[in-house]
Amino acid sequence: MSRKHHKPDWVPENAGKEFTTSVMSGVEGGHDGIPGQASVAVPRKHTPRRRRLTVDEYVAGVLAGDRNVLGQAITLVESNSQAHFDMGQEVLRQLIPHTGNSIRIGITGVPGAGKSTFIEALGLHLCEQGHKVAVLAVDPSSTVTRGSILGDKTRMELLSRDLRAFIRPSPSSGTLGGVTRKSRETILVCEAAGFDVILVETVGVGQSETTVRSMVDFFLLLMIAGAGDELQGIKKGIMELADALLVNKADGDNKIRANSARADYNRALHYLAPATEGWRTKAYTCSSLNGEGIDAIWKVISDFRQQITASGAFEKRRQRQTLDWVYSMVEEHLRASFFNHAGVGSIRADIEEAVVNGRIPPTVAVQMLIKKYEG
Ligand SMILES: Nc1nc2c(ncn2[C@@H]2O[C@H](COP(=O)(O)OP(=O)(O)O)[C@@H](O)[C@H]2O)c(=O)[nH]1
Ligand SMILES: [Mg+2]
């Protein structure tokens, strides 16, 4: 812009004072206003589309903790295309020997309980202690709404700027099964990249809690005082999945209520079977806003890890989870193979019609469909 041209580009004719009629001159220098930088356009090199990495480059980059490659490797693993799938699986196969060295923590609770705020508080606390923290979200609802409830990076502004942390929003396409597979693989990729604390955020929607429980070592249920137990999923048995209950927002006027809620939950927990063999689930309070109780809950998680590792239950759970994972992938594969089967597709509409109108019993319909599929 010429320095003499101190007028706006456009003003209505006969404009009064309500319109700007002059423009202040800009700061000398570069586009960011840093003096001394000439604002001449730097001739741009012709940049080709980002070259696709080779399997070796993905593996080496992830193992070196290169955040850029890590992000790309997760994208590869999450991809739905067949070409990417095969490559992603090869990358994963080579990374597997470098995985497992972390504590995987699932965090659930109703929307608004403060999960994201808590994760940021805990994450920052752990980074300061020298941990490398990866945050993932599992939000099957995002596959329906196309907008992630949980992928709100903005809420974790400080943590997302910390180079010791890595935040990955929920994969946003596919079935719950697909989201689950991707999340499990993302956990492994992050572990291979050296992250030793994996925080997985989920929301109390549908099966997401059981799903996340099936991929973590420690499952934390975040509660708020006075929100109504029913609303918070107590009746749905979520409490029985948890290794700790954490009443969040124990600050200000809410502190007394939070403490009494904790006592109530502790009484209720007496009657429940523990989620983890040899561990007693208890209720605690914290404030993700002022940080009170964050260190204490980390201590609980560390004690858990120590005790459960010593008893062998830690390893046993992981082995069981790996097998569950294998069979859930088998199921996913079989389901897709069945529903994509051309022969099955050709008779499905007729059979469905016959079943709903009572002309053939469901059991017979199953036999016909399976026969077509296997034949
Ligand atoms: N007073 C108070 N407010 C909190 C606390 N933790 C979260 N919040 C607030 O609760 C709201 C929901 O938090 P958010 O982390 O987005 O909840 P999420 O939906 O469970 O992820 C936000 O306005 C937070 O600022 C806390 O410990 N104390
Ligand atoms: Mg959230």
From the CA of 113, give the closest atom in ligand 1: 20
What digits encode the pLDDT tens for the residues 40-81? 455 555 655 667 899 999 999 999 999 999 999 999 998 888
Among left, alpha and beta (phi > 0; psi -120 to 50; other), residue 36 is left
Range with the poorest average pLDDT among 65-69, 272-276, 358-362: 272-276
pTM of the predicted protein model: 0.81
Given a contact cutoff of 8 angstroms between Cβ atoms, the answer to whether 174 and 140 are in contact is no
Residue 114 alpha carbon to ligand 1 centre in Å:
4
Residue 68 alpha carbon to ligand 2 centre in Å:
24
What HEC string does 318-344 produce?
A: HHHHHHHHHHHHHHHHHHHHHHCCHHH
For residue 113, give Cα distances in angstroms to 116, 204, 248.
Answer: 9, 11, 7
From the CA of 248, give the closest atom in ligand 1: 27
From the CA of 201, give the closest atom in ligand 1: 21
Query: Does position 219 have pLDDT exceeding 90, yes or no?
Result: yes
**Strand pairing of 165-168 and 103-108?**
unpaired
**Two tokens at 124?**
């920052």
Structure-model confidence comparison of residues 110 and 59, the more confident one: 59
Give the confidence band of 368 by pLDDT, cuts at 50, 70, 90: very high
What digits encode the pLDDT tens for the residues 157-184? 889 888 899 998 777 555 666 677 788 9
Sign for the CA dihedral angle at 272, 276, 185, 189 comes to positive
* Ion ligand 2 nearby residues (CB, 5 A): 115-116, 150
Q: Give the residue, by CA position, lying nearest to ligand 1 atom 26.
A: 249
Structure-model confidence comparison of residues 146 and 286, the more confident one: 286
Sign for the CA dihedral angle at 341, 346, 349, 352 comes to negative
What digits encode the pLDDT tens for the residues 234-253? 555 788 899 999 999 999 99
Give the confidence band of 227 by pLDDT, cuts at 50, 70, 90: low
| Number of the ligand closest to the Cα of 169 | 2
Mean pLDDT, range 199-220, rounded to an integer: 85
> Beta-carbon neighbour count of residue 40 at 10 Å?
7
Q: Which residues line ligand 1 (CB under 6 A)?
A: 109, 111-117, 155, 248-249, 251, 287-289
Mean pLDDT, range 125-134, rounded to an integer: 96
Query: Does position 329 have pLDDT exceeding 60, yes or no?
Result: yes
Probe residue for ligand 1, chosen from 108, 115, 116, 117 as the CB with the greatest number of ligand atoms within 8 Å: 117
223 pairs with which residues across the strands? 247
Given a contact cutoff of 8 angstroms between Cβ atoms, the answer to whether 178 and 138 are in contact is no
The Cα–Cα gap between 231 and 35 comes to 57
Please enumerate in sequence order all residues whose Cβ is within 8 A of that of 240, keeping only pairs 6 or more positions apart, or say none: 272, 273, 275
When mean pLDDT is compared over 15-29, 203-217, 257-271, the highest value belongs to 257-271
**Two tokens at 344?**
């099955």
**Two tokens at 104?**
């995987």
| Number of the ligand closest to the Cα of 148 | 2
Q: What is the dihedral of CA 332, 335, 340, 342, to 10 degrees?
A: 150
Q: Give the residue, by CA position, lying nearest to ligand 1 atom 17.
A: 114
pLDDT at 256: 94
Annotate 47-89 with DSSP letters as a single string.
PPSPPPPPHHHHHHHHHTT-HHHHHHHHHHHH--SHHHHHHHH
Is 300 in a helix, a strand, or coil?
Answer: helix
Amino acid at 15: A
| Number of the ligand closest to the Cα of 118 | 1
